[in-house]
Amino acid sequence: MSVTQPTPEIAVPRADTLATEAPGARRGGWLVRIAVLVIVLAWLVPTVGVLITSFRPESAVDTSGWWSVFARPFDTAQWTFDNYRLALDTGGFGNAFLNSLAVAIPSTVIPITIAAFAAYAFSWMDFRGRYAMFVAVVALLVVPLQMALIPILRLYTQGGIVAGRWIIPDFDLGGTFLGVWLAHTAFGLPLATYLLRNYIGSLPRSIVESAKMDGADHFTIFWRLIIPLSVPALAAFAIFQFLWVWNDLLVAYIFLGGSSQNEVLTVALRNLVGARGENWHLLSSAAFISMSLPLIVFFSLQRYFVSGLTAGSVKG
Amino acid sequence: MSLLRAATALALLTAAFALMWVSFGFLRDSDANRMLVVAVALLVGVGGVFFLFAATNRAVDWLPERYREGVRPYVFVGPCLVILSMFLVYPVINTILLSFKDADSVDFVGLQNYSFVFSDDSMLRAIRNTAGWIVFVPLVAVSIGLVFAGLADRLRRGEAIAKSMIFLPMAISFAGAAITWRLIYAFRPEEFGTNIGLLNGIMLGLSREPADWLGIQPWNNLLLMVIMVWMQTGFAMVVLSAAIKSIPSTIIEAARIDGASEMQVFRWVIIPSIVPTIVVVATYMIINAMKVFDIVFVIGNAEANGTEVIAERMLDWFFISDHRGRGAAIAVVLFVAVIPVMIWNTRRFREQEASR
């Protein structure tokens, strides 16, 4: 995880990302342990509060703070699944969950595929302007996506006009999945290309050369050799991009906000706050539905998760 | 013969694109069953790109031999460049252009939008608040992250679990985090029910008056910043912790043998060795804080509460108040602010390449 350079290398996941012992590190006493415990508890309180609230009946949520469950935690009457039933069904969060999947999975796979092909070309193929093009990709890394929102939305609703001429036809992509996929692809592409090119470019030249000697063409080398070797980098970026898209509100709000059919979780959450900001039984369960998948990813793929998010922190 | 081959290649490509287009037509059909729509979306979205690459590559195989290997690199790199120029390069130019035009992008208005950005009360508040975000969030998140990394390093057991608990908020959305913290800051005036917010619960426990936390200007800004600190400290902690662990133990041992206390080792040996990492982490946090939007937007009532930030104003002017020129001008302000980082990135990249 060398982020000591401003342009970070992809951090290849290591087993010891979260826990290693520096040789000779001195062990701390109880003071250190208490300090760590206090910080950890403080960090957990907000999430625990939402989790507990989401399982309490509406009447209880409304009349007492969530911490009052600790008075008698085993009283089953104070726990319920009704909030989740309500949120998933009438609240529309079941639908929104499906939509979030339909947005996030392609928005992860498409940029990775395109970036992997480009990264291979940048590393192992000869063509004019290769270096200049890649420098341009690096420059695009930190462009704030706010710069792109207005023109892309215009592109979707009226096509592209430069100097009075139509250069891009109007595809009417506002409110469609394809429109969001393309937007997320574009916003994720510089980072994906950059990280994958650094990784693929650092694979030993001899592997590619010997495959060429055996008569393999570029497509075969790419698909059969380079992709399997690049799994750690691909996985790290995939997790970063998936969570980024899953958690994104801005892009979804702009490009899907007008369509209640295709509403994703974050947009649905925001609308729920706007409409019923004091219905905590519904808000908390809805919030937890939206957090469920990221938390599962977090706990099951922690190694890739940490390296992915760390490598992805440079995204513009 | 080669003409026929080229024609076949072209036909194949056309068929591939036509197939995609038909499925997009289906996705547009809003009456269809949601499960089915999502299934088709996944199939097309996941398989489609690879299918197009494979089809184009095959089409290149059928080109006359002397063009083949000259064209192929552009098949590999082309889609990336096309998407980047259409969805990033063209928009950047377009936004700059629009920022000099009026609300409906018809007439040029010169610098009017920019003079609005730097004179409107709400905009000035947004700039002031954003300045607060980019100082407070990196400073506090890096400090806590650094201290925690240093502390956790000395635990006998449980280092991994302690760190992952701090890192956990990185997994959830800004929207989810905003709701989580709204529950902490929640306030109900007298006769509007019990105060169920944690902060007011504590106030009542100390027999003090509950307060409308999110309405107290300008301190409510600080309460929103705390949300981002909560989310990003884990990132700082993990990166800094890795840097601390990569310090050669001989240096630390030498300091200890010279009689330095643990505190002195941390202050005078560990921190100086990881300054470059701290700078990088802080830089990226500054960029993130500068573009903060979701937290303020989901907490809501930014204008009434005086918690506006630049990115939130941009969306407000562009999407809600329907003034494209002003929205674009605000975006350009953000863009200009990251240009130094852009230059720094490319310069560092060229140095790395040169030394490779």
Segments making up each domain of chain A, as ranges: 31-70+77-312
Closest Cα partner for A104 from A208, A244, A249, A217?
A244
Whether residue B188 is found in the same domain as residue B302: yes
Inside any domain, residue B158:
yes
Inside any domain, residue B106:
no
Whether residue B177 is found in the same domain as residue B30: no
Q: In chain B, what residues touch A32 (CB-CB under 8 Å)? A: 151, 154-155
Q: In chain B, what residues touch A141 (CB-CB under 8 Å)? A: 342, 345
With a cut of 50, say whether residue A16 has pLDDT above it. no
Whether residue B37 is found in the same domain as residue B125: no
> Range with the lowest mean pLDDT among A76-80, A115-119, A258-262, B74-78?
A258-262
Whether residue B267 is found in the same domain as residue B346: yes
3 state SS of B113: helix
Say if the Cβ atoms of B230 and A190 lie within 8 Å: no
Q: Residues 6 or more apart from B91 whose CB is under 8 A from it?
A: A147, A148, A149, A150, A151, A152, A155
> Range with the lowest mean pLDDT among A22-36, A192-206, A281-295, B41-55?
A22-36
Report for A269-278, B39-48, B168-177, B195-204: range of highest mean pLDDT: B168-177
Query: Where is pLDDT greater, at A5 or A161?
Result: A161
Looking at the complex, does the CB of residue A256 fall below 8 Å from at least one CB of chain B? no
In tens, the pLDDT along B288-306 reads 898 888 899 888 888 888 8
Which of A 124-183 lie inside 8 A of B, CB atoms? 125-127, 130-131, 133, 135-144, 146-152, 154-155, 160, 168, 176-178, 181-183
Query: Where is pLDDT greater, at A221 or A308?
Result: A221
Looking at the complex, does the CB of residue A248 fall below 8 Å from at least one CB of chain B? yes
Whether residue B174 is found in the same domain as residue B52: no
Say if the Cβ atoms of A178 and B315 lie within 8 Å: no
The answer to whether the bond into B218 is cis (omega within 30° of 0) is yes
- pLDDT of res. A277: 66
Q: Distance between CA atoms of A40 and A193, rounded to whole angstroms?
A: 36
Q: Distance between CA atoms of A305 and A243, rounded to whole angstroms?
A: 9
Q: Model confidence at B309, in pLDDT bands (50, 70, 90)?
A: very high
Say if the Cβ atoms of B182 and A36 lie within 8 Å: no
Whether residue B306 is found in the same domain as residue B201: yes
Q: Model confidence at B319, in pLDDT bands (50, 70, 90)?
A: confident
Closest Cα partner for A280 from B188, B229, B216?
B188
Whether residue B119 is found in the same domain as residue B42: no
The C-alpha of B195 sits at a distance from chain A's nearest C-alpha, in angstroms, of 7
Whether residue B201 is found in the same domain as residue B301: yes
With a cut of 90, say whether residue B1 has pLDDT above it. no
- pLDDT of res. B140: 95
3 state SS of B101: strand
- Write down which residue in B65, B98, B131 finishes a domain: B98
Mean pLDDT (whole number) for A149-159: 81
Percent above pLDDT 70 for chain A: 81
Query: Where is pLDDT greater, at A9 or B304?
Result: B304
Looking at the complex, does the CB of residue A12 fall below 8 Å from at least one CB of chain B? no
Q: Distance between CA atoms of A54 and A60, rounded to whole angstroms?
A: 11
In tens, the pLDDT along B207-239 reads 888 888 888 888 889 999 999 999 989 888 888
Say if the Cβ atoms of A39 and B92 lie within 8 Å: no
- pLDDT of res. A39: 92
Looking at the complex, does the CB of residue A300 fall below 8 Å from at least one CB of chain B? no
Backbone angles phi, psi at B101, to 5 degrees: -110, 175
- Asked if B109 and B325 touch (Cβ cutoff 8 Å), the reply is yes
Q: Distance between CA atoms of A56 and B114, rounded to whole angstroms?
A: 50
Say if the Cβ atoms of B249 and A24 lie within 8 Å: yes
Q: In chain B, what residues touch A294 (CB-CB under 8 Å)? A: 171-173
Q: Distance between CA atoms of A284 and A57, rounded to whole angstroms?
A: 12
Say if the Cβ atoms of A47 and B169 lie within 8 Å: yes
Closest Cα partner for B199 from A262, B215, B191?
B215
Residue A17: closest C-alpha in chain B: B242
The whole-chain average pLDDT of chain A stands at 80
Q: Distance between CA atoms of A139 and A121, rounded to whole angstroms?
A: 19
> Range with the lowest mean pLDDT among A36-50, A196-210, A252-266, A299-313?
A299-313
Instruction: Find which of B345, B348, B353, B355 to mutate to test the A interface (most A CBs within 10 Å of its CB).
Output: B345
Q: In chain B, what residues touch A150 (CB-CB under 8 Å)? A: 91, 94-95, 98, 318, 324, 327-328, 331
Whether residue B71 is found in the same domain as residue B119: no
Q: Model confidence at A8, in pLDDT bands (50, 70, 90)?
A: very low
Quote the longest CA-to-CA distance of chain A: 75
In single-letter form, the type of residue at position B335 comes to: F
- Asked if A104 and A242 touch (Cβ cutoff 8 Å), the reply is yes
With a cut of 50, say whether residue B142 has pLDDT above it. yes
With a cut of 90, say whether residue B196 has pLDDT above it. no
Instruction: Find which of A30, A43, A266, A309 to mutate to test the B interface (most B CBs within 10 Å of its CB).
Output: A43
Query: Where is pLDDT greater, at A107 or B106?
Result: A107
Looking at the complex, does the CB of residue B82 fall below 8 Å from at least one CB of chain A? no
- Write down which residue in B43, B70, B98 finishes a domain: B98
The C-alpha of B1 sits at a distance from chain A's nearest C-alpha, in angstroms, of 23
Mean pLDDT (whole number) for B102-108: 80
How many domains does one find in chain B?
A: 2
- pLDDT of res. A313: 59
Residue B275: closest C-alpha in chain A: A4
Cα–chain center distance at B253:
40
**Owning domain of residue B16:** 2-98
Mean pLDDT (whole number) for A131-140: 89
Whether residue B80 is found in the same domain as residue B220: no
Handedness of CA B225, B230, B235, B237 (dihedral sign): positive
Tokens of B264: 């002195």
- Write down which residue in B66, B98, B130 finishes a domain: B98
- pLDDT of res. A160: 62
Closest Cα partner for A81 from A294, A288, A279, A267?
A288
> Range with the lowest mean pLDDT among A273-277, B278-282, B347-351?
A273-277
Number of residue pairs across A and B with CB atoms under 8 Å? 391
- Asked if A212 and A221 touch (Cβ cutoff 8 Å), the reply is yes
Q: In chain B, what residues touch A120 (CB-CB under 8 Å)? A: 76
Annotate chain A with three-state secondary structure: CCCCCCCCCCCCCCCCCCCCCCCCCCCCCHHHHHHHHHHHHHHHHHHHHHHHHHCCCHHHHHHCCHHHHHHCCCCHHHCCCHHHHHHHCCCCHHHHHHHHHHHHHHHHHHHHHHHHHHHHHHHHCCCCCHHHHHHHHHHHCCCCCHHHHHHHHHHHHHCEEECCEEEECCCCCCCCHHHHHHHHHHHHHHHHHHHHHHHHHCCCHHHHHHHHHCCCCHHHHHHHHHHHHCHHHHHHHHHHHHHHHHHCCHHHHHHHCCCCCCCCHHHHHHHHHHHHCCCHHHHHHHHHHHHHHHHHHHHHCHHHHHHHHHHHCCCC
Q: Which residues pair with A26 in a beta bridge?
A: none
In tens, the pLDDT along A262-288 reads 788 998 888 888 776 678 888 888 888
In tens, the pLDDT along A68-91 reads 888 777 777 778 888 888 888 877
> Range with the lowest mean pLDDT among A163-172, B37-46, B52-61, B70-79?
A163-172
Whether residue B196 is found in the same domain as residue B262: yes
Residue B165: closest C-alpha in chain A: A40
Q: Distance between CA atoms of A56 and A61, rounded to whole angstroms?
A: 6
Q: What is the CATH architecture assignment of A31-70+77-312?
A: Orthogonal Bundle (1.10)
Cα–chain center distance at B207:
41
- Asked if B236 and B284 touch (Cβ cutoff 8 Å), the reply is no
- pLDDT of res. B330: 92
Please report the ipTM that was assigned to this predicted complex: 0.85
The pTM score is 0.86
Q: Nearest CB to B76: which of A4, A118, A247?
A: A118
Inside any domain, residue B316:
yes
Backbone angles phi, psi at B108, to 5 degrees: -75, 140
Looking at the complex, does the CB of residue A207 fall below 8 Å from at least one CB of chain B? no
Q: Nearest CB to A26: which of B262, B319, B350?
A: B262
Q: Distance between CA atoms of B28 and B285, rounded to whole angstroms?
A: 39
End-to-end distance of chain B based on CA atoms, in angstroms? 46
The burial of A100, by beta-carbon neighbours within 10 Å (0-12 exposed, 13-18 middle, 19 or more buried), is given as buried
Looking at the complex, does the CB of residue A34 fall below 8 Å from at least one CB of chain B? no
With a cut of 70, say whether residue A6 has pLDDT above it. no
In tens, the pLDDT along A88-101 reads 887 788 888 888 88
- Asked if B303 and B261 touch (Cβ cutoff 8 Å), the reply is no
Whether residue B86 is found in the same domain as residue B203: no
The whole-chain average pLDDT of chain B stands at 85
Looking at the complex, does the CB of residue B59 fall below 8 Å from at least one CB of chain A? no
Say if the Cβ atoms of B164 and A140 lie within 8 Å: no
Inside any domain, residue B110:
no
- Asked if B333 and B107 touch (Cβ cutoff 8 Å), the reply is no
- Asked if A246 and A294 touch (Cβ cutoff 8 Å), the reply is yes
> Range with the lowest mean pLDDT among A55-64, B116-125, B164-173?
A55-64
Looking at the complex, does the CB of residue B83 fall below 8 Å from at least one CB of chain A? yes
Residue A146: closest C-alpha in chain B: B331
- Asked if A113 and B49 touch (Cβ cutoff 8 Å), the reply is yes
Length of chain B: 356
Looking at the complex, does the CB of residue A24 fall below 8 Å from at least one CB of chain B? yes
Residue A44: closest C-alpha in chain B: B165
- Tally Cβ neighbours within 10 Å of residue A135: 15
Looking at the complex, does the CB of residue B207 fall below 8 Å from at least one CB of chain A? no
Looking at the complex, does the CB of residue B73 fall below 8 Å from at least one CB of chain A? yes
Q: In chain A, what residues touch B77 (CB-CB under 8 Å)? A: 117-118, 121-122, 125, 127, 133
Inside any domain, residue B109:
no
